[in-house]
Amino acid sequence: MTNILLVTSSPRGAESLSTRFATEIAEGFKVRLGGAHLTRDLAANPLPHIAQAYIHGRIAAPEARTPEQVEAVGLAQELVDEVKAADVIVLGSGMINFGPSSQLKAWFDHITWPGVTFDYSGAGRPQGLLTGKKVYLVTAAGGVFSEGDWAPFDFQTGYLRHLLGFIGLTDIEIVRVEGTVFGPEAAKAAIAATEAQVRSILEKAS
């Protein structure tokens, strides 16, 4: 049985291409591989930004935590447990001002947890603790950021890959949908290219 975690984050709702393709991948895996499929929609149900209750609560002894700290740490633990339980993680991210949305950043802020999802070796090097999982990172952007003049301004894909790798999620396949703002024909071609990549991914899983 394969446990699949789908995390979507675009505020565009039904118009979101990152949500569309991430959902297609997750649902396709469920059909082909069976197992459980959990969705966390960070746009429909945004997480709070981390605050003092989380910062202080996660390092306090459980019995010494205030009610606010118990709630904040409990939420972070719930999110971490979802990632730990997953065999496959599908992450959808639409570019907002050259980077990921604040909703997705808040999710990473909760799960990037010293001693829980990463630690430091004796030499002081960070070591991710969430290993043995496959991640499909679906990024969407109106412009073309994978190559060309705008590539240096893609603060989304590389940043998300770094955060995932930092907590041990290094087996990552990137799915891009980009160049959709250059007219109907360009958008159609961009979507068709991503559809082909998604089909290829799902065929390999069959």
pLDDT per position as a tens digit, 133-185:
999 999 999 999 999 999 999 999 999 999 999 999 999 999 999 999 999 99
User: Is 18 annotated in some ligand binding site?
Assistant: yes
| Domain count of the fold of the chain | 1
Structural domain for 133, as ranges: 4-205
**DSSP three-state, residue 114:** strand
Name, in order, each residue with C-beta under 8 angstroms of 145's C-beta and a sequence gap of 6 or more: 95, 151, 153, 154, 156, 157, 178
Q: Would you tell me the crossing angle of helices 184-205 and 17-33 to the nearest 10 degrees?
A: 20
Per-residue pLDDT tens over the stretch 27-48: 999 999 887 889 999 999 999 9
pLDDT band at 4 (very low <50, low <70, confident <90, very high): very high
- Burial of 39 (C-beta count, 10 Å sphere; 0-12/13-18/19+): middle
pLDDT on residue 182: 93
| Dist CA 41 CA 53 (whole Å) | 23
**146 labeled part of a ligand binding site:** no
Cβ contacts of residue 146 below 8 Å, gap of 6+?
154, 157, 176, 178
Distance of alpha carbon 129 from alpha carbon 38, whole angstroms: 21
Name residue 85's amino acid: A
CA 166 to chain centre: 13
Q: Give the pLDDT confidence of 76-120 residue by residue, as tens digits.
A: 999 999 999 999 999 999 999 999 999 999 999 999 999 999 999
Average pLDDT of span 59-77: 96
Residue 137, CB-side half-sphere exposure with 13 Å CA sphere: 21
CATH of residue 99: 3.40.50.360
Predicted confidence band of residue 26 (pLDDT cuts 50, 70, 90): very high
